[in-house]
Structure formats: C-alpha cells, structure tokens
Amino acid sequence: METPRTKRTLFLLIVSLSTLHVLSLSSFTPVDNHLIDCGSTVDSIIDNRRFIPDSSPSNSPSTLAISLIDRNPSPNSPQIYHTARVFESPSQYEFKLRDSGTHMVRLHFERLKDSKFDFSHAQFHVLVNGYVVLSHFSGDTDYDMVDPIIKEYLIWVDCEKLVITFVPTKRSKFAFVNAIEVISAPKDLIADTAQYLIGDKVEDFNGVTKQALEIVYRINVGGPKVTPFNDTLWRTWVPDNVFLKSSNGSHHVYSSGQIKYQMGGASREVCPDNVYNTARVITSENASIPHVNLTWEFPVMLGYKYLVRMHFCDIASISIGLLYFNVYINGNLAYKDLDLSYVTSYMLASPFYADFVADGDCSRVLRVSVGPSSKSMAYAVDGILNGMEVMKMNNTMGSLDGELRAELVMKSWPKGNIGILVPLIAGVLMLVSISLVMRRRMVGLKDSVAWSKLPTDIPEVHLKHTDQQLPVKM
C-alpha cells in the first residue's frame, strides 16, 4: 500500500510540474478514453479527469438536441451534472474506437432541478451497439435513492465504433443524458470462461466476454466506499453492509501491508489494493470450528443470468496452508475447499478472483455465502471475502432491460418523422496521456466523437464466436 501510494504522489508531482493539463492516477492508460460532458460548452475536470463538451460553441443549435443548464445547481454536485443534453427524437453519439474488445460504458443521469424542461416527461430507451441497455427509463431517482444515477456496462466491440442511441418512448416524452464515458478495458478484465451453476451442478460457461454486461453491484467487503478517484478503472465500490445478511461469528479485517499482485493473477486493474486490503473473515478462536456462514444477498431479476465475481486475498492468515473454505451460491456448493494458498502459488496477501454464472430465479435474490469446509482448521481463519461484483448478462433478446429488442425500439418511432440532426462535430480534446506512445497516437484524434444523422437501420453488432480464451486468473 505504502510504496505504490508514494510512487503515485511522486508521479503526480512530476506531471503537475509539466505543462500537461490532465493527470492520471492510474497506471493503466486506455487506448480509447472518451469522457463527454453532455450539453456543456466548457470542459469539466472531475477527479483529475477531463470531460469535454459534446458540441463546440460555434454550433448552430438544433432543436432536436437541446443543451440544458441547471440554473441553480446544488453546490456540492460535480460540474458534469449541471448540464444535460435533451433529445426529443432518436439521436445518437458515435465514438470512433482504436481498440477492439471490451469497453466500459458509463452513462450519468441526473434530472436537472431548475431548467426549462420538466423532467417528469423524461422517458426513453438507450441502445449501445444494438443492445438495449435501458428501456422505459426516466432517470428518476425515487426508487434508486441515489443521486445521480450512474449506469455502467461492459460491451464487447469488434468494429471501429461504439454507437449510443437515445430513443424517447413517444413524441410527448424526451431522452436526456448528463455525461458519457467510453473507455477501453484492460484485456484481462473479463475472462471468457466462468463456472455456471445449474442446481448443484457446475459447468463451464464460455463466451462471457461477448455478452453485454451491466454492473449491478460492486462491493468492498469489510471496507469503506472506494471512489473513482481511488480506483484503477474509475469504478465505485460500495461498502457491503446493506447486502450482508448473516455475519454471526465473523469480523472485518484490514491490512496495511502490500497486496502482492502476481503475473497471471488478478491484476491491480481487475481490483485495486483498496478493495483487497479489507475483508470479512470467519475465524476459529478455540479448538472448534465455527458452524456459521457469512452470507450476502442481492436483489436480482428473473430471466437474466448473472456473472458473480468474488475477490479473495488472504490478508488474515498467519501463514500459508491454513485457510480452506467453501463458497455457496443460492445455497449450492460453488467452490469446495477453496485453498487460497494453492491458487496464489503459496503467497499470502496475493489476490485471486473466481467467476460464477447463476440464473436469477423466482426468489429474485442472489445469495452468496462463504463458510468453513471439511478441511477448515481450528485456531485459523475459516472463511474470507474481500470484494464482489454482480453483473447482469443480456437476455436472448439482446437486452439488459426487458423483452424489447433493439429493432423494435427503433421501429417504435415512426419512420419518416425522424428529424435530421445537424451533425455537430465535437471539438475533441482527448485525455492527454503522459506516455510517449500515447502522444504519438494523439495525431488524428480530432473528431472522434460525432453527432450523426440517425441511420434508418440500427447498427448491428457482429458477434464472432471464437474459442480463444483470454488469460485468466491462476
């Protein structure tokens, strides 16, 4: 923990002394990094990240893509939520990509409180490269209880662009968005194979990378909230408390020691130190092994598969070879006698993650437990979890939100009535990277985001099925 932090500070110092405007806390430099502040005319810097406007000020205003400013924003809210882009007919953003593979897409929504639009009329669908990611969405925070709403997706792209389409549900409604992030993910972020749990059977689930995924839960077990500022991929990890259903006989632990990332294992981008250095554990204090489980529960939807990524890092045992435990998902044994020493080549404080796929069933709850196994030992740690991510997979309709296919969403808007958008070319100032490689690549980066006329056909994602597997966990 100490060493990288010191290095980062030093790194920051050097960068801020140079003439470059943008700092990056992360060692990971994405090839594609589009941060857009929608409806704005000026750049917004948030956590050292520069969000650029989606239109240059010289643009003739289009009545179909209106930019809105909150006349009275709350003083603590980040600048990207002070403006919004409003669409009264189907409209899209097109991002030119230089990297293929998994891309992180984050959409930021916050209804402006004081603007010339009544946000109770917001209702729309959002498509990303032919996947329906939001359907009949209103941006209302009433049931989410969070302000703003940040939706995050992982989308596999093997063409040269990523297209985000906003479609109002009807003429009397409108669509809006405050900010958009499109970032190429590290190649090792999503492994292609996971363990699929069907009842008490476990099978390989292949082709995970080619599914559209929505991150629905991302928790830091036993630790505080980790914000985009402190995460290697600008993610948010929330404390696990509200999901923790049974914690009898457990306690949380914190390690100030260094997390030992290993080649071929979970990388710092897969999950940062701040998540691995806290955990909840079950420990045996005497000659008997506690007869308890640590259990978390997550509301899920029937009809979707969920990718469950569990992050483990033994920061609690006094020696290798003492920790064995079972992992259960929905009451079924998912991993028997998990031996963290073995999977990390006998190194303590070395991270490991395991991916499972489970169906959202009629209980509408995903239940995840860790608990002692028959190999667990007395006077030792008998169960641990450091972090967890729950991701929803697109259904057979290619949707993450309902039964409506992308083609039907497009057909729902009467053809011929589509207004023509004046193509507004954004003045793109990419996040300036410090590395020379990136500076060379800066050439030709202009115009990498563009408004475009709505095509008559929705772009199709061509999903190639390959047997190639990405390098995985150990």
Ligand X SMILES: *[C@@H]1O[C@H](CO)[C@@H](O)[C@H](O)[C@H]1NC(C)=O
For ligand X, give the closer residue by CB, 211 or 317: 211
What is the SS3 assignment for 420?
Answer: coil
Tell me the window of 37-45, 165-173, 393-401, 411-419 that interacts with ligand X (CB under 6 A).
Answer: 393-401
How many residues belong to the site for ligand X (CB under 6 A)?
Answer: 25
DSSP annotation string for 252-296: EEE--SPP---TTS--TTTS-HHHHTEEEEEE--SSS-----EEE
Q: Which stretch binds ligand X (CB under 6 A): 121-129, 144-152, 163-171, 223-231?
A: 223-231
Our CB check for ligand X shows the closer of 81 and 174 to be 81
Do 369 and 330 meet the contact criterion of CB atoms below 8 Å apart? no
Tokens of 283: 């420990």
Q: Is 246 in the site for ligand X (CB under 6 A)?
A: yes
Kindly give the pairing relationship between strand 213-220 and strand 387-393.
antiparallel
DSSP β-ladder status, 65-69 and 179-184: unpaired
| Smallest separation (angstroms) from ligand X to the CB of 148 | 17
CB of 461 to ligand X, least distance (A): 6
Taking CB under 6 A as the criterion, the residue among 217, 324, 328, 335 binding ligand X is: 328
276 touches ligand X (CB under 6 A)? no
Residue 463 touching ligand X (CB under 6 A): yes
Identify the bridge partners of residue 166 per DSSP, sorted by sequence position: 91, 126
Q: Rounded CA gap, 96 and 445, in Å? A: 9
Cα–Cα distances in angstroms (integers) from residue 364 to residues 87, 212, 359, 394, in the given order: 34, 21, 10, 17
Q: Taking CB under 6 A as the rule, does residue 236 contact ligand X?
A: no
Give the x-and-dash track for 346-385 against ligand X (CB under 6 A): -----------------------x-x--------------
Give me 208's structure tokens: 């995970």
* Token pair for 446: 């202009």
Using CA atoms, how far residue 245 sits from 248, 298, 331, 442, in Å, is 9, 10, 14, 49
Based on CB atoms, which residue is closest to ligand X, 149 or 393? 393
String marking each residue 278-297 x if it binds ligand X according to CB under 6 A: -------xxxx--xxx----
396 makes contact with ligand X (CB under 6 A) = yes
When asked if residue 77 is in the footprint of ligand X (CB under 6 A), the reply is no
Where on the chain is the footprint of ligand X (CB under 6 A)? 211, 227, 229-230, 246, 248, 274, 285-288, 291-293, 305, 328, 331, 369, 371, 393-396, 398, 463
